[in-house]
Amino acid sequence: MPDGSMVQGPVLRVEDLTVRFTRRDTDVAAVNGVNFSLNAGETLTILGESGSGKSVSLKAMMGLLPGYARIDGRIWLNGRDMLTLPEAELRKVRGGAISMIFQEPMAALDPVYTIGEQIAETIVQHEGCSKDTAWKRALGLLEQVKIPSAARRLKNYPHEMSGGMRQRAMIALALACSPSVLLADEPTTALDVTVQIQILLLLRQLQQELGMAIVFVTHDVGAAAEISDRIAVMYAGRFAETGTTRQIMRQPLHPYTKGLLASTVHGGMRGTRLETIPGSPPNLAHLPPGCAFAPRCRYAVDACRQGDIPVVTDETGHMARCVRVEEAVPA
Amino acid sequence: MSAALQIPLDPRDRGGPAQPLLLVENLRKHFPVRGGILNRQTATVQAVDDVSFSVRKGETLGIVGESGCGKSTTARLLMRLIEPDAGDVIFDGDAVGDRRGISVNDMRRQMQMVFQDSYTSLNPRMTMVESIAYAPRMHGTPRREAIDRAEMLLHRVGLNPRQYARRYPHELSGGQRQRVNIARALALEPRLVILDEAVAALDKSVEAQVLNLLGELKESLNLTYLFISHDLNVVEYMSDRVMVMYLGRVVEAGPVESIYRHPRHPYTRALFASKPTLDPDRRTTEMPLTGDPPNPINPPSGCRFRTRCAFAQPRCAERVPELLAPVAGDADASHVVACHVPEAQTPKHHTTEVGHA
Ligand SMILES: Nc1ncnc2c1ncn2[C@@H]1O[C@H](COP(=O)(O)OP(=O)(O)OP(=O)(O)O)[C@@H](O)[C@H]1O
Ligand SMILES: Nc1ncnc2c1ncn2[C@@H]1O[C@H](COP(=O)(O)OP(=O)(O)OP(=O)(O)O)[C@@H](O)[C@H]1O
Ligand SMILES: [Mg+2]
Ligand SMILES: [Mg+2]
């Protein structure tokens, strides 16, 4: 196998990723055709509905879904298809070339080991260095993510840390082996804004230094504006719209994106009723034909409720999966 | 929900509207830190240190502050999930855990909490509907009734019971689990709900739905909220009053308009200055607050913020500043701040240029 870092072109390319959970009486279509590619040093942010398949997509890229998940498509990491790698290979890649900051640090950190033990163990496993070296690196990592009194915190068990500190420990763990792709699932949600901006600046800096590519999942439009080159908006297991950060924030095309931005709470909105998107998210066990957002969309016409919805992409790469957009923006 | 709660005066109300629902006095929790081969206590983390505040009936008190400043610990102390080292908690006039007051169990029936970590706060072996019905069943509600109500609550938080009632926690997304947690907290019809980062995991449209829902429930069920969040816009939207914490202490508190328009403590100002710009062309390039958060094991003497404060003076190291109303005339006397620096004591000054260390 060639050294991954030497491969030209995108470091990560995802083609037609689908994930279904089929078990007992349930058949959940969690991811329904996700496509994107990412170059070194680039950040793609995935915004989207709660339950739209963001975490499941990231876990698929890490090879971390349960056995009953049916995964299709291709996930090329440095030119190798993650979905065909044998488990032993996958274990080397995971936490090495690709690593993940999980949405729920408590579920990802092992409660019976200290933070230091967990970080050092990861480094030893992937790089085969001495325990001593690994502990020194672990200390440096905790300092890098701005954990106060890092040396003492190395000896903390996860439950002895505040939510935000656990999240920073997770980030340190994910950065332990200088990954070429970092999957960050809501990494700053649990942090106060002073630390959030520190972490975002840190990720931006590491990205410049290491050329790391980042897939950043968040609900926070402000964080997305700070870190992303491009934004993808996900609904019911698909990208409904992708574009540059500016395009998505200033000229959103898809009605779901517009609804999402309109319901964001800004300053000075006290006493007003918040705008919401009417209706409820689709049942992933019975996705409607056509556009999954149509039942909630005020612009929906008959064409939205049948067949495959065409993807409209303009010359700048701004893409929307919407019938009505085609009327407005001739392809 | 239940008819009894529709009438304006809650039968459980004891002291009338003027009596605070919750009064917290000098609450303190220092966690022991163990180390060495004998695992002896070697130090203490001063997680919550001398915290006092009150929550009026029907209001929402927002709590903001740095990660690790003791917000969740305060919440857990109020719920008596951990024992305080010192301090009093008085619920509607009754001292909690006192022989002449109210028992912890009775208090918990009236005070519920939604936890920050949605995953670990749900029992992995219970379906969603069982989790929600659990506490009411423990308190004697018949099974069928508890389940029916649980399904109705699921519906109210925007989850179709037919799809979600019989799922287990790992089969839900983070945001879906958090809504189940909210439903569960409401199942006992509490009077006070502590929401610890309850909407952080939700997408913005569901967040808006849940915030609208929390507003409606507050009206129809006469609820009082303690609302902990890092999202300053959401805190402004939800709260009547806001309390700002730094390293285990309250540094500023007051009516929401006053705090947001005229933040006075240098930490509060730095906090507001760190809000993301929402403008990809004007990204933040410098940190409004530099320096490392100090060590809670050995916090700075006097004012705990002084090591990162551009205005620190010798006396900041000598004396702990008290929470005081401003000296100047026209200011709101209920807006209190703990700071020795005179700028903080006179309101309506520059609001952004402070706190750059
Ligand atoms: N193991 C599982 N079995 C069945 N369904 C699952 C499983 N894991 C996730 N799901 C479902 O798949 C869908 C996508 O979940 P995912 O966790 O990816 O959502 P998300 O986009 O990350 O949402 P959030 O923003 O709330 O974290 C959800 O509807 C969820 O209920
Ligand atoms: N069980 C424990 N043992 C030791 N220290 C603890 C324990 N629980 C909390 N702490 C410490 O107490 C301090 C306050 O933690 P707390 O969880 O209350 O912070 P927080 O304000 O909720 O932060 P966040 O916004 O990150 O959730 C932290 O320094 C934390 O590490
Ligand atoms: Mg998720
Ligand atoms: Mg907390």
Q: Is the CB of B31 under 6 A from ligand 2?
A: yes
pTM of the model: 0.87
ipTM of the complex: 0.82
- For residue A166, is it within any domain? yes
The answer to whether position B155 is within a domain reads no
Range of the structural domain that residue B180 is part of: 3-125+168-264
CA pair distance A290, A310, nearest whole angstrom: 10
Q: Is residue A279 less than 8 Å (CB to CB) from chain B?
A: no
Contact A115, A109 (CB under 8 A): yes
Contact at CB, A245 and B211, closer than 8 angstroms: no
Least confident of A190-199, A289-298, B159-168, B202-211: A190-199
Beta bridge partners, B91, equal B22, B94
Mutate to test the interface with B, among A197, A201, A235, A296 (most CBs of B within 10 A): A197
Q: What is the pLDDT of residue B121?
A: 80
Q: Which residue has the tokens 């065909």?
A: A84
**Total domains present in chain B:** 1
Q: Does A248 fall in a domain?
A: no
Mean pLDDT by 10 residues, chain B (357 residues): 51 84 96 73 86 96 93 96 96 92 92 82 91 92 95 89 90 83 91 93 86 88 94 96 96 95 93 87 82 78 92 93 78 86 56 40
Q: What is the pLDDT of residues B102-142, one digit of tens each?
A: 999 999 989 999 987 767 788 989 999 999 999 999 988 99
Cα–Cα distance for residue pair A169/A138, rounded to 1 Å = 10
Q: Return the HEC string of A240-284.
A: EEEEEHHHHHHCCCCHHHHHHHHCCCCCCCCCCCCCCCCCCCCCC
The answer as to whether A83 is a domain residue is no
Closest residue in B to A223 (Cα) is: B276
User: Is residue B134, in this structure, part of any structural domain at all?
Assistant: no
**How many residues belong to chain B?**
357
Q: Which domain holds residue A167?
A: 110-178
Among candidate residues A82, A30, A6, the one with its CA nearest the CA of residue A237: A30
Q: Output the ligand 1 site: residues, CB below 6 A.
A: A 21, 28, 30, 50-56, 66, 103, 284; B 170-176, 201, 203
To the nearest whole Å, the CA of A89 is away from the closest chain B CA by 26
Interface of A with B in 139-198 (CB under 8 A): 146, 148-149, 152, 155, 160-165, 167-168, 186, 189-198
3-state helix, strand, coil in chain A (%, to 5): 40, 20, 40
* Partner residue facing B205 (CB), from A103, A161, A276: A276
Is B304 a domain residue?
A: no
φ, ψ for residue B254, nearest 5 deg: 165, -175
Q: Report the C-alpha gap between B327 and A139 in whole angstroms.
A: 46
Residue A252's pLDDT band, with cuts at 50, 70 and 90, is very high
Please report the pLDDT score of residue B158 as a whole number.
82
Residues B271 and B305 sit within 8 Å (Cβ to Cβ): no
Tokens 């500023």 identify what position?
A: B252
Question: What does the alpha-carbon distance between residue B289 and residue A118 come to, in Å, rounded to a whole number?
Answer: 30
Which residue is associated with the tokens 């903080």? B344
CA nearest neighbour of A245 among A326, A331, A316, A181:
A316
- pLDDT score for B288: 79
- Confirm whether B339 is domain-assigned: no
| B204 and B151 Cβ atoms separated by less than 8 Å | no
Nearest CB to A164: which of B67, B173, B270?
B67
Is residue A60 situated within a structural domain? no
3 state DSSP class of B101: coil
The pLDDT of residue B161 is: 93
pLDDT at residue B351, rounded to an integer: 42
Name the one residue in this structure whose structure tokens are 């001593």: A132
> Is the residue at A142 inside a domain?
yes
Is position B296 within any domain? no
**Is A145 a member of any domain?**
yes
Nearest CA in chain A to B121: A106
Cross-chain residue pair B33–A191, CB shorter than 8 Å: no
Radius of gyration of chain A (CA): 21
Asked if A155 and A114 count as a contact pair (C-beta separation under 8 A), the reply is yes
| Residue A38 binned pLDDT confidence (cut-offs 50, 70, 90) | very high
Please check the confidence at residue A312 and state whether its pLDDT lies above 50. yes
B257 is a domain residue: yes
Closest-CA residue in chain A for B156?
A: A280
Q: Which atom of ligand 2 is nearest to the CA of B75?
A: 18
Pick from A51, A221, A246: CB nearest B173: A51
pLDDT digits (tens, 9 = 90+) for A148-181: 889 988 999 988 887 778 888 988 999 988 899 9
Substitution target in A23, A194, A235 with the highest count of B β-carbons within 10 Å is A194
Can you tell me which atom of ligand 1 is nearest the CA of B173?
17
* Interface subset of A 202-231, CB within 8 angstroms of B: 219-223, 225-226, 228
Interface of A with B in 10-29 (CB under 8 A): 21, 26, 28
Predicted confidence band at A5 (pLDDT cuts at 50, 70, 90)? very low
- The answer to whether residue A315 is domain-embedded is no
Give residue A103 CA to ligand 4 midpoint distance, Å. Answer: 15
Identify which of A223, A276, A280 has the shortest CB distance to residue B208: A276
**B103 HSE (CA, 13 A, CB side):** 3
Asked, for residue A312, whether it belongs to a domain, the answer is no
CA torsion A194-A197-A202-A207 (nearest 10°) is 170
How many structural domains are present in chain A? 1
List, in order, residues 6 or more apart from B279 with CB less than 8 Å away.
A225
Q: State the pLDDT confidence band at A331, using cuts at 50, 70 and 90.
A: very low
We report the CATH number of the domain holding residue B57 as 3.40.50.300
